[in-house]
Amino acid sequence: MRDVVIVGGGCYGSFYAGQLAKAKTRGLADYRTVIVVDRDSRCRARRDLPESVDRRYVEQEWNGFFDEFLGGAHAATEAAERDYIVPSPHMPHLMFDWLVRRARDRFAGRTVDVTAVPEGVGSPYDRVGRGGTRFVSFADWICPTHCVEPAQCPAIGAPRTWEMAEAVSALARRLRPPVHGPALFVCRHHVFGVGTFSVDSVLEGDRILEQAGRSGEESRVLVGTISSCHGALSMLKIGPASGRGIADNGLLTADS
């Protein structure tokens, strides 16, 4: 890894930062810098963890931080340049929120709305929360803390027969009218109970967004922040351009 951004410096963030430091000490992980982002200058991670030359803290709201961090990011050309994000289990749908802001900047003069995902993935847990985010899970039990979602599910003592990425992709194929994507930010166990998704996957979601709006017609993009078992799903709708000139001039490249 290169830089690793931990969302939040509370109980989860301090655990993740400590686990990454332990993995690096034991030679099981390597990274340039761990960046803990929290608006509280006295967050738990800062209070509890020892000082380290490869860890720094950013006192900032998450949305503002990601606007800066992702706005200047480029896809990695080799693995050693790849940055990662460590989400909190209870964080808002931050990467979707970032895509909404990107769409409103990119397609100025067109409406950009958040709409409900009209159906679920067929999972036992399926709830729509505030803002229309659809929360889905294949678990109808309480999962073990910091579960790494192995092939053998520890909660039921049997093989895990589901994969959320496949279920969301199947949902995208079923939806009518057709949707773009899905743009998926898939959190996978990396080391010592720390789950991450790559910045490259976020930039790929931005590319899908740019392609969706290219025609100037109304389009929808299905977006999910998911793991193997759980997910938060949202739909972004880009309204039609009023004329071809607006469609052409409203575009920025994914690298802009």
Task: Output the domain CATH number for residue 33.
Answer: 3.40.50
Average pLDDT over residues 213-234: 96
pLDDT greater than 80 at residue 256? no
Q: Is residue 51 part of a domain?
A: yes
Last residue of a domain, one of 36, 57, 91: 91
Cα–Cα distance measured from residue 150 to residue 160, given in angstroms and rounded to the nearest whole number: 8
Task: Look up the pTM and report it.
Answer: 0.90
Q: Which of 67-76, 111-120, 155-164, 234-243 has the lowest mean pLDDT?
A: 67-76
Last residue of a domain, one of 69, 91, 113: 91
Residues 85 and 97 occupy one common structural domain? no
The domain total for the chain is 2
- Nearest of 85, 89, 52, 86 to residue 69 by alpha carbon: 85
What is the predicted pLDDT for the residue at 243?
62
What is the predicted pLDDT for the residue at 254?
38
Measure CA 172 to chain center.
Answer: 18
Cα–Cα distance measured from residue 162 to residue 86, given in angstroms and rounded to the nearest whole number: 23
Cα–Cα distance measured from residue 131 to residue 141, given in angstroms and rounded to the nearest whole number: 25
In contact, 17 and 49? CB cutoff 8 Å: yes
For the chain, what is the mean pLDDT? 92
Residues 74 and 122 occupy one common structural domain? no
Average pLDDT over residues 47-73: 95
Residues 146 and 237 occupy one common structural domain? yes
Q: Tens digit of pLDDT for each residue in 130-161?
A: 888 999 999 999 998 889 999 999 999 999 99
Burial letters 83-119, b for 16+ CB under 10 A, else e: bbbbbbeeebbbbbbbbbebbeebbeebebebeebee
The domain of 106 spans 92-188+198-256
